[in-house]
Chain A
Amino acid sequence: MTKLSEGAIEALSNGTGGNDAVLQLVNIRKIDGGSGLPRFRVMMSDGLHTLSSFMLSTQLNFMAEENRLAPNCVCILKKHVTNILKDKRRVVIILEMEVIKSAEDVAGRIGEPTPYTEGNKGFNRDFGKKAPSAMPSTPGDNSKVVPIASLNPYQSKWTIRARVTNKSSIRTWSNSRGDGKLFSMEIVDESGEIRVTGFNQEVDKFFSLVEVGKVYYVSKGSLKIANKQYTSVKNDYEMTLNGESSIIPCEDDCDVPVMQCDFVSIGDLENREKDAIVDVIGVCKSVDEVTRLTTKSNREVSKRTLNLMDMSGKLVTVTLWGEEAEKFEASGQPIVAIKGAKLSDFGGRSLSASFSSTLMINPDIPEAYKLRGWYDKEGHAMDGQSLTEVKGSGGGLTNWKTLSDVKTEHLGHGDKADYYTCIATIVYLRKENCLYQACPSQECNKKVVDQHNGMFRCEKCDKEFPNFKYRLILSANIADYADNQWVTCFQESAEAILGQNAAYLGQLKDSNEAAFDEVFQQANFNTFVFRSRVKLETYNDESRIKATVMDVKPVDHKDYSKRLIMNIRKLAAQ
């Protein structure tokens, strides 16, 4: 009977294991490696203990594929390396191994090994937490574990075993129907992933129990069709926790994959639709300082932008919010992976980490190592081409479009109005009916009714006045190289275009028509930067796009030139 190296399992597990341990292979499993290559996980025994956290390095895959590594064969572990994962578990990577006795030559299991557990480590998780919920029942009452991919709304008796890859913070809401709170998380197993949400009481029961990176048995959640708008999780269904659901920590979690990500190359982001939810990974080339800003609802929130670059040579700006922004460790150009980031067309293309995105720094996945290797060799010297425009005239949101883009992109067709910026030339100004008589009160701009007795009535103020003030509503046609567009300009923009104020124009119209016409002649064929709002409006069964100019500014040629050069370079690179 071959002698196994007793005590080797304990040593390897503690990281003190030497080489040339003689071990028996108890079990071998094929795992989908995610990067295309299969990985093999083996359970080895030294006669005293078994340990399942052994991984065959890919160069030894052939041994498994040629069936040399069958259960019960005895091997010498010639070379290995121990990796420590983020959650302190150890995995022994087998770099070189020799089969000294094949499975047929061995009678069976040598000795009576028991699974090696690392002392008390497994139970510390419960310390400092509220009473672990759903306690008495053992994992799923011994119901079999099913794969996540098989979950559907028509079966309720199931248990899954999955790792939490992402957990949101508790969100509260308050509306006319009442208020409540919720949290959501994403869990993954070998078959797939699924999004899980808990409301109100389930938040209290489960939120603090669940930790990202740990594996749990989950059973009796309700399944329904997924709302794909909020998540990039690939599953037709999503789960909601209810009063009968249970979540129990699972000790043996090595089989469950750490993360399911479908990374999009940064260069490809230009081809994706805005508002798409994507996973990205890249080197954090630079990061800005944390800033604070106040939202429309008068809440203060922290914000930080960083630049990610990947092997496509393209750079994209990513915005982090809240705690993630404040906690982000900027040093050393780390590899940053984001699952579920939101793609926006702000500045061209940019990404935002929403409350349901997961941010990982230097994750322990093959893509991260590939990126690190590439960056150290060549990437660090590249400048990278940014998909996000940093400067926009006037700061804040600029969304540069050509007038044909407005039509082809169906701007204004959605529920909300769309805003965009364009450079265009005025080609026609309608001088008829560009002025109206408005209520002279400060705040009121309503059109007044001429009483024909020297008085003017304002319906809104419900008063009569002996006078009025002239206000402008100017209808104009503007054009660029691509298309033309009818727009409406109100007082401020109209005055900027015409170069005269409404009162003076009103006077001219009444007294000196030639001079009045001259103003419009002079204003024609001038080029400006227009910030416009466009919305589909329905009037008597007819829907039409109405464009309103919010702001008019003279062209900043330097800024325009820079943008043109950038666009030319972008086009040339495609």
Chain B
Amino acid sequence: MEGILDVPKPRITCGMLSQYIGRPVCFVGRVEKVHPTGKTFTVSDGEGKIATVELVCVLDEELSGVVEVVGMVSNKGAIMASTYNVLREDKGIPFDLELYAEALKVIHEFPQHYPFEVAASG
């Protein structure tokens, strides 16, 4: 958990997981199935592909809807979550996952305009 809060965490979709193995990422997706042990769950991204999220601590509540997961990508292409937060669907405008995927495509197509960096201070 330590290093991950200070470093840039590119937003990715399932298709890009293999390119970010061993690196911290931010993944937004819809919760599909929660494993009975509560230690892992699957998410689907805006393109419909599925990824697995593994947790350090067991889930203490039922998880559903769209979540944003921050963590490292493991060798097997799963996300080892350091932290997650749920984007509530009962408040405000519901999150449009497909539109988010479209936006991610743009961001990754033009890295010169959308650099993933930590802003220099001072």
Interface residues of A (CB under 8 A from B): 557-558, 561-562, 565, 568-569, 572
- Residue among B93, B106, B110 with the most chain A CB within 10 A? B106
Q: Does B99 contact A (CB under 8 A)?
A: yes
Number of interface residues of B (CB under 8 A): 8
Complex Cα distance A569/B103, Å?
A: 11
> B106 to A558, Cβ gap below 8 A?
no
The interface residues of chain A lying within 8 Å CB-to-CB of B99 are: 558, 561-562, 565
Considering the complex, which residues of chain B in the window 95-115 have a beta carbon less than 8 Å from any beta carbon of chain A? Answer: 96, 99, 102-103, 106, 109-110
A569 to B102, CA, bound (A): 11
Partner of B102, one of A557, A565, A572: A565
State the CA gap A558–B96 with chains docked (Å).
8
Which residues on B sit within 8 Å (CB–CB) of A565? 99, 102-103, 106
Q: Which residues of B contact A557 (CB under 8 A)?
A: 93
Q: Would you call the interface of chain B mostly helix, strand, loop, or mixed?
A: helix
B103 adjacent to A561 (CB under 8 Å): yes
Q: What are the residues of chain A within 8 A of B109 when measuring CB–CB?
A: 572
Bound CA–CA A558/B93 (angstroms): 9
Once bound together, how far apart are the Cα atoms of A568 and B102, in whole Å? 11
**Nearest 10 pairs between A and B by C-beta?**
A565-B102, A568-B106, A558-B96, A561-B99, A565-B106, A558-B99, A561-B103, A565-B103, A562-B99, A557-B93
Chain B residues with Cβ below 8 Å from A561 are 96, 99, 102-103
Q: In the complex, what residues of A have CB within 8 A of residue B106's CB?
A: 565, 568-569
Q: What are 11 A-B residue pairs whose CB atoms fall within 8 Å in the complex?
A: A558-B93, A558-B99, A561-B96, A561-B102, A561-B103, A562-B99, A565-B99, A565-B102, A568-B106, A568-B110, A572-B109
| A572 to B108 Cα, complex, angstroms | 13
Q: Which of chain B's residues has its CB closest to A568's CB? A: B106
- In the docked arrangement, what's the CA distance between A572 and B93, Å? 30
CB distance from B119 to the nearest CB of A (A): 18
Instruction: State in angstroms the CA–CA spacing of A7 and B24 once bound together.
Output: 87
CB of B113 to closest CB in A, whole Å = 9
Closest B residue, CB atoms, query A559: B99
Known: A561-B102, A565-B106. 5 other contacts (CB 8 A): A557-B93, A558-B93, A562-B102, A568-B106, A569-B106
Residues of B within 8 A of A562 (CB): 99, 102
Compute how far the CA of A216 lies from the CA of B109 in the bound complex, rounded to whole angstroms. Answer: 59
- Min CB gap A554→B, angstroms: 10
Write the chain A residue with the least CB distance to B96.
Answer: A558
Q: Give the nearest-CB partner of B100 in chain A.
A: A561
Q: CA–CA, A568 to B110, complex, Å?
A: 10
A557 to B95, CA, bound (A): 10
Query: CA of A572 to CA of B96 in the docked complex: distance in angstroms?
Result: 24
Closest B-chain residue to A571, C-beta based? Answer: B110
Q: In this complex, what residue of A is CB-closest to B105?
A: A565
What is the minimal beta-carbon distance from A432 to any residue of chain B, in angstroms? 36
Give the distance in Å from the alpha carbon of A558 to the alpha carbon of B109 in the complex. Answer: 20
Q: In the complex, what residues of A have CB within 8 A of residue B102's CB?
A: 561-562, 565
In angstroms, Cα B109 to Cα A228, docked, is 45
A561 nearest CB neighbor, chain B only: B99
* Residues in B whose Cβ lies below 8 Å from that of A558: 93, 96, 99
CB distance from B43 to the nearest CB of A (A): 21
Contacts of A568 in B (CB 8 A): 106, 110
Q: Give bound CA distance, A572 to B112, whole Å.
A: 13
Complex CA–CA separation, A558 to B98 (angstroms):
11
In the bound complex, what is the Cα–Cα distance between A572 and B102 (angstroms)? 15
Bound-complex Cα distance A572 to B109 (A): 10
| Assembled-state Cα–Cα distance A528/B106 (Å) | 24
- Shortest Cβ gap from B50 to chain A (Å): 24
Residue of A nearest to B113 (CB): A568
The distance in angstroms between the C-alpha atoms of A102 and B50, with both chains bound, is 78
Minimum distance in angstroms from B104 CB to a CB of chain A: 10
In the complex, which residues of chain B have a beta carbon less than 8 angstroms from the beta carbon of A569? 106
Inter-chain CA distance A557–B93, complex, in Å, is 9
- Give chain B nearest CB distance to A383 CB in angstroms: 14
How many angstroms between the C-alpha atoms of A191 and B110 in the bound complex?
51
Chain A residues whose CB sits within 8 angstroms of the CB of B96 once the complex forms = 558, 561
CA distance A558 to B92 in the complex (A): 12
| Identity of the chain A residue whose Cβ is nearest the Cβ of B94 in the assembled complex | A558
| Chain A residue contacts of B93, Cβ below 8 A | 557-558
**Nearest chain A CB to B10's CB is how many angstroms away?**
18
CB distance from A360 to the nearest CB of B (A): 38
A558 to B102, CA, bound (A): 12
Quick one: CB contact mask for B83-97 with A, threshold 8 Å, 1 for yes? 000000000010010
Residue of B nearest to A562 (CB): B99
In whole angstroms, what is the CA distance A2 to B64 when docked?
A: 94
Q: Given the complex of chains A and B, what is the CA–CA distance between A562 and B98 in angstroms? A: 11
Cα separation A569 to B105 with both chains bound (whole Å): 11
Bound: A565/B109 CA distance, A:
12
Taking the closest CB of chain B, its distance from the CB of A59, in whole angstroms, is 46
**Complex CA distance for A493 and B18, rounded to whole angstroms:** 51
Cα distance A561–B97 when bound, in Å? 12
Smallest Cβ distance from A87 to chain B, in angstroms?
50
> What is the chain B residue whose CB lies nearest that of A556?
B93
- Tell me the minimal C-beta distance from B66 to chain A in angstroms: 14
Query: CA of A572 to CA of B110 in the docked complex: distance in angstroms?
Result: 10
Instruction: Write out the residue numbers on chain A whose beta carbons fall within 8 Å of the beta carbon of B103.
Output: 561, 565
Q: How far is the CB of A368 from chain B (nearest CB, A)?
A: 36
Closest Cβ–Cβ distance, residue A451 to chain B (whole Å): 51
Complex Cα gap A508–B68 (Å): 44
Instruction: Name the distance in Å between A266's Cβ and chain B's nearest Cβ.
Output: 24
* Interchain nearest-CB distance for B52 vs A (Å): 28
For residue A568, give the distance in angstroms from its CB to the closest CB of chain B. 5
- B100 CB to nearest chain A CB (Å): 9
Kindly provide the distance from the CB of A459 to the nearest chain B CB, expressed in whole angstroms: 48
A557 to B100, CA, bound (A): 11
| Whole-angstrom CA separation of A562 from B99 in the bound complex | 7
**Cα of A568 to Cα of B104 in the assembled complex, Å:** 13
Complex Cα distance, B102 from A562, in Å, reads 9
A557 to B96, CA, bound (A): 10
Task: State the Cβ distance, B22 to closest chain A Cβ, in Å.
Answer: 30
B112 to nearest A CB, angstroms? 12
Nearest CB of chain A from residue B12's CB, rounded to whole Å:
17
Q: How far is the CA of A175 from the CA of B102 in the complex (A)?
A: 54
